[in-house]
Amino acid sequence: MKRKKKIILVCHCILNSNSKVEGLSQYEGVFKEFLNIIADKGIGIIQLPCPEMIMYGIKRWGQVKEQYDNLFYRQQCRRLLEPIIQQVKNYIDFGYEIVGIVGIDGSPSCGVNFTCSGNYGGEIIDSSQVAEILESLKLVNGSGVFIEELKKYLKEVDLEIPFYSINENDVYSSLDDIIQKIWAT
């Protein structure tokens, strides 16, 4: 039996950059450099669903955490996570190891260590408002909404899994760091 019984959970766009807000991707489809290392290490992959793509589609605007931070979005995130948690629990119960969960820092949904915040929203009456709105954009400490819900859910079912993250603005800068941490597992 060749299987290594090790699995990693990755945010959807690591395996499919097409789900990202249009204009935002540093790789063509799959983040190959990351994936190749995981594959070489014999770790299996579970791809998390992309909550933004599922709920708001490919023509959505880039949004900030405040726009997703509502009960409906949180409940839908949880529903999407339910089958994932069920599988993870079953794997762990039968001796498999979930080596980590990889999020996307900077994302309002999938950020782990930092996410984006700003005074977004409302009708834009004239173009001068756009600059003002964009100026309010900042990165803040904390997780995105989807990852917050995932963390809560894991706690409820008594599972502790380490979180790692890829920096959305420069995916290659975070590669060495994340690989070293996962390699150490």
CB–CB of 34/47 below 8 Å?
Answer: no
Part in contact with ligand SF4 (CB under 6 A); list of ranges 33-41, 47-55, 122-130, 149-157: 47-55
Q: Does 20 bind ligand SF4 (CB under 6 A)?
A: yes
Q: Which residue of 7, 77, 109, 174 would you call a contact of ligand SF4, by CB under 6 A?
A: 109
Q: Does 149 bind ligand SF4 (CB under 6 A)?
A: no
Task: Report CA-CA distances (Å) from 182 to 63, 81, 161.
Answer: 30, 23, 12
Part in contact with ligand SF4 (CB under 6 A); list of ranges 46-54, 82-90, 114-122, 173-181: 46-54
In degrees, rounded to 5, the angle at the alpha carbon of residue 26 between the alpha carbons of residues 147 and 127 is 80
Q: How many CB atoms sit inside 10 A of residue 122's CB?
A: 8
Give the DSSP letter of residue 122.
Answer: S
In degrees, rounded to 5, the angle at the alpha carbon of residue 171 between the alpha carbons of residues 166 and 174 is 60
Q: Does 50 bind ligand SF4 (CB under 6 A)?
A: yes
Nearer to ligand SF4 (CB atom), residue 137 or residue 183: 137
Q: Does 171 bind ligand SF4 (CB under 6 A)?
A: no
Nearer to ligand SF4 (CB atom), residue 16 or residue 97: 16
Angstrom distance (rounded) from CA 89 to CA 98: 10
Q: List residues binding ligand SF4 (CB under 6 A).
A: 11-13, 19-20, 50-53, 104, 107, 109-110
